[in-house]
A = this chain, B = another copy of it.
Amino acid sequence: MTEKLPLPKKVTVCEVAPRDGFQAISTWIPTDEKIKIIRRLAQTGISSLEIASFVHPRAIPQMKDADKVVSTVIESLGGIDIRALVPNLKGAERAVDAGVMKLKTMLSATDSHSLSNANATSKDAQQKLTPIFDFAAKKNVTVMGSISVAFGCPFEGKVPVERLIEIISRYDAMGVKEISLADTTGMAHPKQVYESLAILQKEFPEMVYSMHFHNTRGMALANTLAALQRGVTRYDSAISGLGGCPYAPGASGNVATEDVVHMLEEMNIKTGINERNLLDASREISEMLQIKGDSYLLVAGPTSTLHEEKITKQKKVEQ
């Protein structure tokens, strides 16, 4: 047993609220407010941002102004690694027209989830992505490949790592250098994350992995710890925990950026993000969107600053 946990010194946290967060909010967020929120997020020191999803407006009405939002704001986001989610060629063209130089494709690990999300089996859906890659190659734009329900599928249960190997092999053949493993409905556990990554890293030593954890069952930070121990340095999160499914009230969605950053910084893993500024941004953005905000830090504040007064009151019930 080692004396210390093997942890990276620096990680990149990708803020996905403008995509995964906004699309989960059913009430319309005005374009200028989306822009305001993205600009506020940029002030926190984030180095990576998933800025929008260029899907068909009928699929996700909240994203119908993606072109306007992105083209308006992208110039002012110098130094931030910007990416957008694109389901098809049309989406890729719109994203690149808006100035996005990094695309992310969607794919479900299981056929049941793929059929319900993309009306095609996982393999067929992946083949349908080819035009995106051809277009990206022409435009000299990067494409990363994401895998939804990568660890567990609400229809099929646990996802065997062999399934991920098949999909990543195909992504690899398409030229993908970075894979996003998304625990879409929060079904992964740390042992599974650690052991799956060990196998994938052995199978595809050159591939870069990026983790997208939802906190549905409270294991997102534990899963993050497991992935950190595999040397993974890229993590998605959404400020205020935006992205909880509006159909399941109270159900946690994306792990909150402030909670992830707090744990990382507490462990002396650098994120480049200003924690205090981030927490302020979380409060401001929750207010703008008139949502309660779903993060521990919003309630408890960082470890470094508890209110003495509150604590004194607590003393009688502490153990």
Contacts and interface: CB of A to CB of B under 8 A. Distances in A.
Interface of A: 1, 3-7, 19-20, 23-24, 59-60, 85, 106, 113, 116-117, 146, 148-149, 152, 154-155, 157, 182, 184-187, 189-192, 194-195, 198, 212, 215-219, 221-222, 224-226, 229-231, 243, 245-248, 250-252, 256, 259, 262-263, 266-268, 295-297, 299-300, 302-304, 306, 308, 310-319
B117 A7 contact: no
A319 B106 contact: yes
Residue of A231, A252, A318 with most partner-chain B CB within 10 A = A318
B311 A251 contact: no
Contact of A318 (B7, B185, B304): B185
Contact of A248 (B4, B259, B310): B310
A227 to B, nearest CB: 11
Contact of A303 (B187, B224, B243): B187
A312 B153 CA distance: 12
A263 B189 contact: yes
B185 A306 contact: yes
A145 to B, nearest CB: 13
B310 A247 contact: yes
A165 to B, nearest CB: 15
Nearest to A297: B217
Q: Which of A113, A157, A259, A296 has the most CB of B within 10 A?
A: A296
A243 B299 CA distance: 16
Given A190-B263, A217-B297, A245 B195 contact: no
Contacts of A311: 154-155, 185
Given A185-B306, A319-B212, A299 B251 contact: yes
